[in-house]
Amino acid sequence: MKTINDFNFSNKKAIIRVDFNVPLNEQFQVTDDNRIVAAKPTIDKIVNDGGVAILMSHLGRPKNGPEDKFSLKHIVSKVEEVLGRKVTFVNDSVGADVEKVVADAKEGDVILLENLRFYKEEEAGDEAFAEKLSKLGDVYVNDAFGTAHRAHASTTIVAKFFPNDKCFGTLLAKEIESIDKVLNSTDKPVTAVLGGSKVSSKITIIENILDKVDHMIIGGGMMFTFIKAQGGKIGSSLVEDDKMELALEILAKAKAKNVQIHIPVDVMAADAFSNDANTQIVASNDIPDGWQGLDVGPKTLEQFNKVIMDSKIILWNGPLGVFEMEKFAAGTITLGNFIADATEAGTFSLVGGGDSVAAVKQFGLDDKVSYVSTGGGAMLEMLEGQTLPGIAAILN
């Protein structure tokens, strides 16, 4: 696996696919700079070697060519602040103006191109557009994990024009290594914590990782499909009735593979989906009519703690309850603290998927786990066993 550490960028121009698809407020200010911060080590290495860093990214989903609200000009000051250096913005991604700015660049310069998705050729994976991008650099670096599952011009097709001069940036290399560590670890036991509302959205992951894990903790709304399938009473909790047979098949497969499945034994039930609801702790398979489980209970957490603390590798994808409401956040926070304690004791922990990442950030746990993935969809596809086009393009 070639990374930026295999190259010396002195007197070289590196065209880098970064993921600067960051949220902006109504004043067009960046409200979360994590993706910019994540790209900094790659950019630093290139400019410190004496190279030129040419950054290309998309922002949002522009529909009909250039739209001011999706212009990357809005993030220039934030990128300069994070990098601690001047950034030259070019209001196009290809063409004579861009080529002139790049040709005039001096060692250590950082150039940010305009939103790639102002060209429909980007998402279409157009080869002629990719070739125009390729003319800007001597080396192609992909450091955008969040878009590695898309075969777009800048994430995949452009790599063909750099048969020997292409590599992964620091961030993308770390993502690949972290997921590989979970899926192909010799350290045992490996535990996967899967939450979220639906079994249907996690089924491919479950089937792919059953061969890789020793324990699987199931939380969130999807647990009620498993509980009801086994004859439990779940009140008015979320359920996918058409997936109950599938849930039983998963349990049977897990048993055959000697994987222990852990399903909550008690829940915090509420009489409404509201922070102001009345609540009670009840057995997860005996929830009264008109009540719904919105978080896990204390006995469940006690059992999960033992599994987590005994684990050598942990994958966490999905919350245990409706953590967005303070009343039902305790299960997810407590689980996060268990994982933080295990990590401190030497366990490798990978957190990925939108809700889990949001939870660890919200509760200040992102520095207490081994790695927080930056790419929701990309990570899920890797866990499902798919080869991502953006990764394959560098490896080929």
Average pLDDT over residues 151-164: 97
pLDDT on residue 267 = 98
Is residue 361 annotated as a catalytic residue, yes or no?
Answer: no
Length of the chain: 396
Mean pLDDT for 199-207 is 87
Is there a binding annotation on residue 331?
A: no
> Over the chain, what is the mean pLDDT?
95
Residue among 50, 232, 377, 385 flagged as catalytic = 377
pLDDT at position 220 is 93
- Alpha carbon of 31 to those of 36, 77, 82, 143: distances in Å? 11, 13, 13, 21
Instruction: Please state the φ and ψ torsions of residue 313, each to the nearest 5 degrees.
Output: -135, 135
Backbone angles phi, psi at 56, to 5 degrees: -130, 140
Q: Any binding-site annotation on 318?
A: no
Q: Map tokens 């509201």 to a residue.
A: 274
Q: Give all domains of the chain, ordered by start, each with its CATH number.
A: 4-168 (3.40.50.1260), 176-383 (3.40.50.1260)
pLDDT of residue 171: 94
Gap between the Cα atoms of 116 and 93, Å rounded: 6
Told to judge if 321 belongs to the known catalytic residues of this protein, a careful annotator would answer: no
Q: 149 a known binding residue?
A: no
315 φ, ψ to 5°? -110, 125
Q: Is the pLDDT of residue 230 over 70?
A: yes
> Is 20 marked as binding a ligand?
yes
What's the rounded mean pLDDT across residues 121-140?
97
DSSP code, position 370: S
The confidence score (pLDDT) of residue 316 equals 94
CA-CA distance, 376 to 235, in Å (whole number)?
A: 32
Cβ pair 15, 112 in contact under 8 A: no
* Distance, CA of 41 to CA of 58 (rounded, Å): 20
355 is in an annotated binding site: yes
How is residue 66 written in tokens? 């250039």
**What is the percentage of the chain residues whose pLDDT exceeds 90?**
84
pLDDT at 187 over 80: yes
The yes-or-no answer on residue 377 being catalytic is yes
In the structure, what pLDDT confidence band is assigned to residue 354 with cuts at 50, 70 and 90? low
- Tell me phi and psi for residue 395, to 5 degrees: -75, -30
Checking if the pLDDT of 202 tops 90, the result is no
Which DSSP symbol is given to 328?
G
pLDDT at 386: 84
Integer angstrom CA distances of residue 300 from 318, 322, 334: 16, 16, 11
pLDDT of res. 88: 98
Q: Is the pLDDT of residue 49 over 80?
A: yes
**How many CB atoms are closer than 10 A to CB 246?**
18
Q: What average pLDDT does range 88-92 have in this prediction? A: 97
Per-residue model confidence as pLDDT tens digits over 270-290: 999 999 999 999 999 999 999
- Is 17 one of the annotated binding-site residues? no
Instruction: Establish whether 198 is a catalytic residue.
Output: yes
Joined together, the tokens standing for residue 258 give: 């000697």
H helices of 198-351, where? Answer: 203-209, 223-229, 244-256, 298-310, 330-344
Q: What's the Cα-to-Cα distance from 238 to each of 197, 274, 299, rounded to whole Å? A: 8, 14, 21
pLDDT at 97 over 90: yes
297-346 pLDDT per residue, tens:
999 999 999 999 999 999 999 999 999 999 999 999 999 999 999 999 99
Flag whether 21 is marked binding: yes
Question: Is residue 380 within 8 Å of 134, Cβ to Cβ?
Answer: no
Catalytic residue among 35, 45, 78, 243: 35
**In terms of Cα–Cα distance, which of 38, 343, 351, 339 is closest to 179?**
351
Token digits for 172? 């993308």
Higher per-residue pLDDT: 99 or 146: 99
Q: Please state whether beta strands 233-234 and 260-262 pair in parallel, antiparallel, or not at all (unpaired).
A: unpaired
Catalytic residue among 12, 85, 198, 233: 198
Does the pLDDT value for residue 375 go beyond 80? no
Predicted TM-score (pTM) of the model is 0.86
